[in-house]
Amino acid sequence: MDQTSFETRRQYELQDRDQLATHQLAKLNQLLESILPSNRFYADKLSKLDRPLKSLDDLQQLPFTTKDELTGEQTSQYARNLTFPIDHYVRFHRTSGTSGRPLAVLDNENDWRWWIATWQYVLDVAEITEEDRAAMAFSFGPFIGFWSAHEALLDRGCMVLPCGGMSSLARLELLIENKATVLCCTPSYALHLSSIAKENKLDIGSSSIRSIIVAGEPGGSVPAIRERIEQAWQAKLIDHAGATEVGPWGYDDGGQGLRIVESEFIPEFLRVGTDEPAADGELAELILTTLGRMGAPVIRYRTGDLVRPDRQVGAPNHFVRLTGGVLGRVDQMVIVRGVNIYPSAIEQILRSVPEVEEYRMIASKSGEMDDLTIEVEDQLESPQRISDLLTTRLGLRIAVRCVPSGSLPRSEQKGQRFIDQRT
């Protein structure tokens, strides 16, 4: 895929819904023509499909794709949706394993260029130029977020400072000494770095960092987390969403949520727990179809992400907006005494308490009912006030207990703050 210019990306954002649907349908038919019948996974799933599709409504006749399907019985270590023989691929990445078994996903050279081109929507919002210096606060490994961001930034012509294999303090010193203007990391790691800076009397608020691009966790669109990060760093936070098996599908919408890159993905929204379409503003599971990843496509993929779609009429950007970003995971919903609780709702409350350094939620069973306990590192060691706050905000009493400072795990990748012991 050719690298699109800023002007081209902006034109896509300004297309009305009919123009966008025409563009998506053409790309979807091109995808199907390119992958069938050589992609055995989809050749089997779509064996009765009449091509070409006449409208996007025809997409709803196709079966969903799930992560369990891609994993299969793991007779092969790679995802099952590969279009070409293994020797056609040049990139290896793997899912984190926070939801199900880790899944190895491959990309060929054209697909990797698609990743880099699609990432430019994120960098547009961050206003990245060749004059910037970006610090990558990730370890080198199979996590795709580091590699795609790293090469998208290089494609912009800016300097990239890789921080793999370094302590948090060393990373802070590196970005300060080299006058980095951009920091890329997870939301929780941005907060962790600010704590390390405070402990070591490093004034990160006076550093050259002006933009922080976060991904890997929902926190970038949670107002309380966003505010804490921006205040600590005195920098603008830019949220981003993507997945190894899908691609870089979402970018920041001015702090109000995420926009889906509809020039490269077809989104659908299902009412939670059903296969029925959700209305605008309704809590829904996000379904995505890739349009430019020929070597490892996903069609009607159930992401498991919970979102609230908003197709704003008359907005300056016509891509669908997800109010509040990714709100949680379908498989992480806990029903406590008849009330549906999502981890992101609790995180929003806990991050509004400045004395809470870290936390962890533990879901368990009490008979046939879900139960939830929250562990917190609280500087005041006063869990009752936190429990009272949760009761006020959620209308539900949840057990909160304090644990020693520094005892809960920290991670530069996806924070695992939800422990599910219900099964």
Residue 208, judged by CB atoms within 10 A of its CB (0-12, 13-18, 19+), counts as: middle
H or E stretch covering 183: strand 182-185
Q: Which of these, 124, 327, 346, lies nearest to 221 by C-alpha position?
A: 327
Q: What is the pTM of this model?
A: 0.84
**Going edge to edge, which strands form the sheet with 328-329?**
265-271, 284-290, 301-307, 328-329
H-run or E-run covering 252: strand 247-252
CB–CB of 275/40 below 8 Å? no
Strand partners of residue 371: 364
Distance CA 345, CA 334 (A): 11
As a whole number of Å, the end-to-end CA separation of the chain is: 44
Residue type, 324: G
Q: What are the pLDDT tens digits along the chain (423 aa)?
A: 335 689 999 999 999 999 999 999 999 999 999 999 999 999 999 998 999 999 999 999 999 999 999 987 655 689 999 999 999 999 999 886 555 567 899 999 999 999 999 999 999 999 999 999 999 998 778 889 889 999 999 999 999 999 988 999 999 999 999 999 999 998 889 988 999 999 999 999 999 999 999 988 777 888 888 999 999 999 999 999 999 999 999 999 988 899 999 999 999 999 988 999 999 999 999 999 999 999 999 999 999 999 999 987 667 899 999 999 998 888 777 777 667 777 778 888 998 898 999 999 998 887 667 788 999 999 999 999 999 999 888 888 889 999 999 899 876 666 678 888 877
How many residues belong to the chain?
Answer: 423
The β-bridge relationship of strands 334-336 and 339-341 is: antiparallel
Nearest to 254 by CA among 233, 242, 237, 235: 237
Q: Which residues pair with 372 in a beta bridge?
A: 363
108: left (phi over 0), alpha (psi -120 to 50) or beta: beta
Block residue for tokens 């079966």: 63
Are 107 and 78 a contacting pair, CB within 8 Å?
no
User: Can you tell me the distance from the alpha carbon of 269 to that of 267, in angstroms, rounded to the nearest whole number?
Assistant: 7
Q: For 127, which DSSP code?
A: T
What are the domain boundaries of the chain?
1-329, 333-420
For residue 106, give the H/E element and its range. strand 104-107
The helix (run of H) or strand (run of E) holding residue 288 is strand 284-290
At the second CATH level, the architecture of 1-329 is: 3-Layer(aba) Sandwich (3.40)
What CA–CA distances, in Å, run from 142 to 80, 118, 162? Answer: 18, 20, 15
* CATH H superfamily, domain 333-420: ANL, C-terminal domain (3.30.300.30)
